[in-house]
Structure 1
C-alpha cells in the first residue's frame, strides 16, 4: 500500500511539473530572450533614431520619423539588427520593417521627385516597438510605462516636447 501511494504521488508530481510548471518556465524564458535579444535593444535604438531628428520636426502631428542616414546608427544597421533577431519578432513587427524597407527603396530610387526630405515616417513601427517592449516588461512583472503601453508614444519624446514649450 505504501509503495502504491508513493508511486501515485510520484506520478502526480511528475504530471504537475511537466504539465504546469515547465510550460510556465518555458514561456518566461522565451519572454526573457525576446526582451534581452530584440526588444530592449530595439527600443533603445528606436528612441536614439527618433531623438536624432531636429526638434522642429519631432512632434509634428505626432508623427515619428527617422533620418535615413544618421551618424552612429544607420537605418540599414537598424533593419539588419531586427532581421538578425527576427526569430524573436512578432509578425506585426516584421511587417512594419518590410514597410520601412519599401519606403527606403522608394526614396532611394527617387520615385517621387518632390520628396527631397532626408526623413522617413515610421509612426506605426515606433508605436509597435514601444507597445511590444512595454507589454513584455509587464508580462515579466518588471517596471513598465503604462502610458507608453497604451499609446505607443515614447515618454522621452513627450518630455522633450514639453521642455521646448
Structure 2
C-alpha cells in the first residue's frame, strides 16, 4: 500500500512537473513569437522610415538653399542701394556747392538727376509713373501719386 501511495504521489508530481514545464515552454514560445513579430514589423517599416528621413533631410537642405539665395539677393540689393545712396549723396554735396544749389529753386538738370536716382532706387514705382524725358509742368499731386507721401 505504501508503494502504491508513493507511486501515485510520484505520478502526480511528474504530471505537475510536466504541466509546469509545458506551461513555461508555451510561454517562452509565445514570447519568442511576439518578439519575432515585432522585429518583422520593424523591418517592414524600415524603408518607410528611411524614406521619411531622406525627405526631411532634403527639405532641410532645400530650406537652407533658399535662405542662402535670399541672403545673396539681400546682399546684392544692399550693395546696389549703398552705391546708389553714396552716388546720390555725392551728387547732392556737389550740387549744394554749386551756384544752382544755392538758388531757391532746383534747376532742370538737378530735377532730372533726382528722377534718375529715384528710378534706380524704386524701379517698380518708376515703371508705373514713367514720364522722364518729357518736358512740361508736373501735375499738382505728382509726388503723392509716385510715393504716397505729400511733401507740403
Query: Per residue, is there more helix in 1 or in 2?
Result: 2
User: Do both proteins adopt the same fold according to a TM-score greater than 0.5, normalized to the shorter chain?
Assistant: no
Higher-RCO chain (CA-CA 8 Å, sequence separation at least 6): 1
The structure with more radius of gyration: 2
TM-score by length of 1: 0.36
